[in-house]
Amino acid sequence: MSPDFWMLTSFLVLLLIGVPVAFSLALSGAIGILAGLSPDMLATLGTNTYNGVAKYPLIAIPLFILTGLVFEKSGVALRLVRFAQALIGPRHGGLAMVAILVCLIMGGMSGSGPADAAAVAMVMLPSMTRAGYPKPFSATLIAASASTAILIPPSIALILYSIVVPGVDLRALFAAGLFPGVIAGLVLMLPAWLLARRYGWENPEGAERPPLGESFRQALPALFAPVLILGGLRSGLFTPTEAAVAGVTYGVVIGLFVTRELDWRNLWRLCGEAAVISGVVMLIIALAGIFAWAGTMLGTFRHLAEWLISLSDSGAVLLILVMVAVLLAGMLLDAISIYLILMPILIPVMQHFGWHPVWFGIVLAMNIAIGQFTPPVAINLMVTAEVAKIRLEQTVGWAMLFVAVMGSALVLVAVFPEIALWLPRVLGYAV
């Protein structure tokens, strides 16, 4: 058996028996080194682990995680809900549309689907349940809408993609993700509205509409957060890492002095939560350095890329195969693991067929976003199902509906790359 076989097989076996992804990557990388290189090369494990995280742009990840947690606890979600209700008004499907719109705005603060899903579910699920929406539907809709957070900047997934794929401008990725993220959210509104009308889930008669001016004034601090982050990036005032620092600082000021729903004790606790979440993320990235080094030295990634390219001479056919594979991976793994495992294989394929790296990154992110609410392992759906106090299997039917709907947005971006590339070009980024 070849070293490639031992490394890949051990990785799959370790995953199947429940070993965490980070340790599966490290152990299978070590097995590959033993099988194909020399036991003496195990001395490189420490160096490769360090090299996996010794990248300056990675500092943005824990900072954006903290930004999302701060805004979640600062009461901005409730203010955004009232503003969205004032915009949409009482109508069939109104609360469902509000949930989608708030998820899109919250995605521009956190960059994390699960954080987005938790914040919106806590606010929206009680009111949607009182309006007659079934809990499985509401939980699935919020989980699907929150998945757009990995597309709408600042996206933690896109930060990692810019590090894994050499030469990709993170600012261009952020700009490219905006329209596809908004489209992915908006397409969910049509089935939500149709289903609400058909089943009479929400009676708009007699419902109060919050005053637009007052609700806008209260939501203005939250609405300014994406403007601060993206405007600072566009103007050149911030690098992506500095934008993360600005986001944290702004969120703390809003929570402590504007909404006053955050105090110093809670802020200290949020720093601890962000450290734990960031530690998990960084551990995966660090131990993936062993897997990446072993795969590169053994030629495993090159062999897999050559095998993929040999499947078809058609770039369109191979793109479909890659998208299906990434979607299946998204049903089982988180975005960070998928990028670390698959990108060393997909980069040669992308270069062979001349796919634009910014567009390809957005298409991959859309696939992964769909996987975040697709059972069996749907991290966003697990969060919202826990908030709703329902079993995950109750959401499967609704999840399949929203997979098909968001899949149509994915097809649109895949067929028309300019949907993603137009804005970066207009903003003058190198694409």
Q: Which residue has the tokens 């943005």?
A: 60
Task: Say whether the peptide bond before residue 154 is cis (omega within 30 degrees of 0).
Answer: yes
Rounded to an integer, the average pLDDT of 20-38 is 85
Tracing tokens 């989608």 back to the chain, one arrives at 100
Q: What is the pLDDT of residue 207?
A: 62
pLDDT at residue 209 is higher than 80: no
Residue 117 pLDDT exceeds 60 = yes
Query: What residue type is assigned to position 82 of the chain?
Result: R
Q: Give the pLDDT score at 430.
A: 64
The region that residue 328 occupies, defined by phi over 0 for left and psi between -120 and 50 for alpha, beta otherwise, is alpha
How high is the pLDDT of residue 12?
A: 87
**pLDDT for 420 beyond 90:** yes
Question: In whole angstroms, what is the distance from residue 63 CA to residue 342 CA?
Answer: 25
Read off the pLDDT of residues 270-312 as tens digits, 9 standing for 90 and up: 889 888 888 888 888 888 888 888 888 888 888 888 888 888 8
DSSP string, 332-399: TS-HHHHHHHHHHHHHHHHHHHT--HHHHHHHHHHHHHHHTTSSSS-HHHHHHHHHHT--GGGGHHHH
> Per-residue pLDDT for 113 more than 80?
no
The enclosing H or E element of 192 equals helix 189-199
pLDDT of 378 > 70? The answer is: yes
Q: Which amino acid is at 283?
A: L
- pLDDT score, position 358: 94
* Mean pLDDT to the nearest integer, 333-347: 84
Output the pLDDT for position 244: 83
Tell me: pLDDT of 188 over 80.
yes
Residue 80 has pLDDT above 90, yes or no: no
**pLDDT category of residue 431 using cuts at 50, 70 and 90:** low
Q: Which two tokens stand for residue 300?
A: 């495993």
Query: Which is it for the CA torsion 392, 92, 114, 405, positive or negative?
Result: positive
Residues 382 and 148: their CA atoms lie apart, in Å, by 16
The residue type at 135: K
Q: How confident is the model at residue 401 (pLDDT cuts 50, 70, 90)?
A: very high
Neighbours of 393 (CB within 10 A): 11
Q: What is the pLDDT of residue 329?
A: 82
Q: DSSP characters for 104-160?
A: HHHHHHH--HHHHHHHHHHHHHHHHHHTT--HHHHHHHHHHHHGGGGTSSS-HHHHH
Look at residue 205 in the predicted model and tell me its pLDDT. Answer: 62
Asked if pLDDT for residue 1 goes beyond 80, the answer is: no
* pLDDT winner (highest mean) among 26-40, 76-90, 412-426: 412-426
Tell me what pLDDT residue 109 has.
76
Highest mean pLDDT, choosing among 38-52, 337-351, 404-418? 404-418
The pLDDT of residue 203 is above 70:
no
pLDDT at residue 411, rounded to an integer: 94
Task: For residue 355, name the pLDDT band (cuts at 50, 70, 90).
Answer: very high
* Residue among 299, 314, 312 nearest 345 (CA): 299
Mean pLDDT, the chain, whole residue set: 85
Q: Work out the average pLDDT over 222-244.
A: 81
Report the pLDDT value the prediction gives residue 136, as an integer from 0 to 100. 92
Mean pLDDT on 393-417: 92
Instruction: Return the pLDDT at 428.
Output: 78
327 token code pair: 């979607």
Give the range among 54-68, 81-95, 195-209, 313-327 with minimum mean pLDDT: 195-209
**Between residues 12 and 230, which one has the greater pLDDT?**
12
Which residue type does 139 have? A
